[in-house]
A and B are shown apart, each in its own frame.
Chain A
Amino acid sequence: MTDPRPEAQVVLRLENITKRFGKLTANGAISFDLRQGEVIALLGENGAGKTTLMNILFGHYTPDEGHVEVFGMRLPAGNPRAALAAGVGMVHQHFTLADNMTVLENIVLGTRSIWRLGFGRAQARQRIVTLMEDYGLRVDPDAQVGSLSVGERQRVEILKALFREARILILDEPTAVLTPQETDDLFATMRKAVALGLSVIFISHKLHEVMAISSRVVVLRHGKLVAEAKTSETDRAAMAQMMVGSEVAAPVVRRADPGAALVTLAGVSSPDIGSAPGLKNVDLELRAGQITGLAGVSGNGQTALADLIGGLIRPASGTFHVKGDAPRGWSPHAAISAGIARIPEDRHKTGTIADFDLTENAVLELYSRPGFSRHGWMNWRAARDFAAKIIRGYDVRCPGPETRIRLLSGGNMQKLILGRVLETAPSVVLANQPVRGLDIGALTYVHEQLLAARDRGAAVLLISEDLDEVTALSDVIHVISEGRLSPGFARGAMTPAELGVWMAGDGFEEAPHAA
């Protein structure tokens, strides 16, 4: 990126923004300016305060101190409508689109008075088509949003903001759901937007993307602005260090000799889950002493595969074997009994019970085992000892086993889940998005534990949206796309770009005579 001229107009000014939640200071006196025609990368680990800051900027939260100025005008606090009217457009990580309406209707939705009959469809279409050409955002205006891919939906969200005449775009982790190719397209759009005089705040923790697209970097750590630099004057290592405050080492991975296949799927299909596809004729082997990585854009059947191995669903067709047996009455309980450790995708909604304390959460899967209960009566002393053992052994930072788990950070929650499932010496580990939302310290810890489990001889399945994570850890990589599974690729056999082709769904041969 070319640096904007220093005299370029300041379009957005954050002045001394402070926001506290109880004892936690989510944002402490943060100030920075965004100038016209520049891309600021807002960098920070999860929990560093990026999302809080953007929610204040967009009026979802009221700051305790400080204020926001847009084009020199002070925004009233806590008023998203005012932020919109001032020209701030936000594209959230989770899209806010109506699936049963067309692209055109979604874009226009909410911009027209409900008392008007019709909404000037032809006029709106004209504007949208112009916007698409100007910004290189290609999507069929008459397609139903429900039928679009994730990348296309994101384009609709951006078009929505542009249609509302946004001059400042905030993109919250936009690349998390994109293939490498789609990311390139997004960056092209961002460059066009900047050339047309817009300004962009780009939130990410992927450093190579930040290097590629931003003109300036703002780094948050523990709610404070710790560094601000021109992208051209810094590098990835320096940024990583600014984010975490210490040197970051990449995980060291040894080669391992794979053992027997512990979980085998042959020609397995499963029904779709809502709008997410089920499995389509999937062949997969999870071998002992090997990490099998599953790459793919989220919502392409990962949930179905995790649910199947985790015991939540049964295959509709095909054969499914665990340790050589075809399980009868497959259930979460059966999966746990078979020695499958399950790290769920959503640790808040399915992994833990927020209002249970650590002890109660630690024995969630094991309470019915002898030792934790007898004849229907809980042995709470044993449960507390077990929780204390996990807290010590897995470095769970908490006041004690009586703490409600909702008060723990994501990383400590994940460590408790890790401890809960790994303490039983499982032979299969199913890790679904195990480091999503974790800071680098917790992330490294989780990866070490997965590698240690593999070295002990467990078969590990690592499901992640982060291609870098999958390629760094996996001995074998499969790509999943629309419920179809690619063949296994050995470590290093494929470049990220080649995997990206599979992620986009292009490598798969259409099965002949498929029903």
Chain B
Amino acid sequence: MRLEPIANPTWTRSLGLPAVALFATVVVASLLAMIAGAQPFSVLGLIVKGAFGSKFATLETLNRATPLIFTGLAVAVAFRAKLWNIGAEAQLYMGAVFTVVLGTGALAWPAFALLPTIAVAAMLAGAVVLLVPTFLKTRFSVDEVVTTLLLNFVVLLWVSMLLEGSLKDPMGLGWPKSARLIAEARLPRIAEGLRLHWGFGLALISALVVWVIQRRSTLGYEMRAVGLNPAAARFAGIPVNATLIKTALLSGGLAALAGFSEVAGLKGNLTLDISPGFGYTGIIVAMLALLNPLGVVVAALFVAGIFVGADSMSRAAGVPTYLADIMLALALLAMVLAIMLTKFRVRRD
């Protein structure tokens, strides 16, 4: 067997195969649920019901999707320029830390001035964390996969240190958590009585902005050129290194907004478990979205829906919640395979 490239994939191929991939995921997950002792196809219904079946469930899913949109965008932007940012988790925590540093009373400004200031500071902090590996890559050809991945652990341990030290809440009964944000530093809810904060709105706007940047700006053009063929980009006079640095600023900033939105919108303070791996799940989101910024929103809703739905499904059907993780892993594998099959055809000899 071997692979033969397809010069010009048809529409049915490039849209149909991902659909088949998702369908296959559902079938296999249902089989697994059956093995675990549940009614096979009821599980899927329960997940959908758990994720979108009520107003409360839907809002919960949207809240859960918010950080995933940010980290998904961060990864999609970076991967488009073939900057392999595996460090969205670290950038998220940097954003969270700076939200707490500025939002717990250090600046006594009104909300309309304070919130943008905090958001920009958080973005810069996240960008700096990605800038270091990017600089090592452009200057010394150090593989950024390794450096960004390892920085995740460095930053997480640093946050742990802060939460046991200078950022520790004096009123926190000794728990490793920060003080709560002042009211002016909290992201307001989108509507009165609705458990959905403006972080979600910011995420949607970010997706739109990133999409416009990629489609219409010179930076988007440069990023795609550098990602597709750095040698040709360099020959044509595109500043390859500067483009990678700008990409890093954008990507790190977007990931940091996930931390900002979680702290200022949802939680109100910083703990070590603020992200259950949103940075890594962002990679799955971006890949499922085929790196399209608007697709990231859809993929994030899909992933968040599976997580939220799996909780209630597990209670109702008596199936372990980690079926959700398995489903996501399956979806990713199936999608990667589908993407490959849109570009290559398998030939038997």
Contacts and interface: CB of A to CB of B under 8 A. Distances in A.
A208 B229 CA distance: 39
Q: In which size bucket is the chain B interface? A: 20 to 34
Contacts of A332: 234-237
Contacts of A373: 218
Contact of B231 (A311, A350, A406): A350
B349 A378 contact: no
A464 B218 CA distance: 35
Interface string B198-224: 000000000000000000111111001
Interface residues of A, number: 36
A377 B218 contact: yes
B221 A351 contact: no
A376 B237 contact: no
A354 B228 contact: yes
Contacts of A62: 347, 349
Contact of B216 (A342, A356, A378, A404): A378
A373 B221 CA distance: 11
Greatest chain B CB density within 10 A among A342, A354, A376 is at A376
B138 to A, nearest CB: 15
Contacts of A498: none
Contacts of A353: 225, 228-229, 232-233
A181 interface: no
Q: Chain B's interface: helix, strand, loop or mixed, by majority?
A: helix
A349 interface: yes
Which of B218, B224, B228 is the most central at the interface, judged by chain A CB atoms within 10 Å of its CB?
B218
Given A350-B231, A364-B225, A407-B8, A378 B236 contact: no
A380 B237 contact: no
B7 interface: yes
Contacts of B237: 311, 331-333, 335-336, 365
B199 to A, nearest CB: 27
Interface in A329-387: 331-333, 335-336, 342, 344, 349-356, 360, 364-365, 367-368, 373, 376-378, 380
A66 B228 CA distance: 38
Interface in A309-332: 310-312, 331-332
Interface string B234-254: 111111000000000000000
A378 B8 CA distance: 26
Contacts of B220: 378
Given A376-B217, A377-B216, A22 B8 contact: yes
B225 A356 contact: yes
B349 A364 contact: no
A210 interface: no
Contacts of B235: 310, 312, 332, 342, 344, 350-351
Interface of A: 21-22, 62, 77-78, 310-312, 331-333, 335-336, 342, 344, 349-356, 360, 364-365, 367-368, 373, 376-378, 380, 404, 406-407
9 contacts: A331-B237, A332-B235, A351-B235, A353-B229, A364-B225, A364-B236, A367-B218, A376-B217, A407-B7
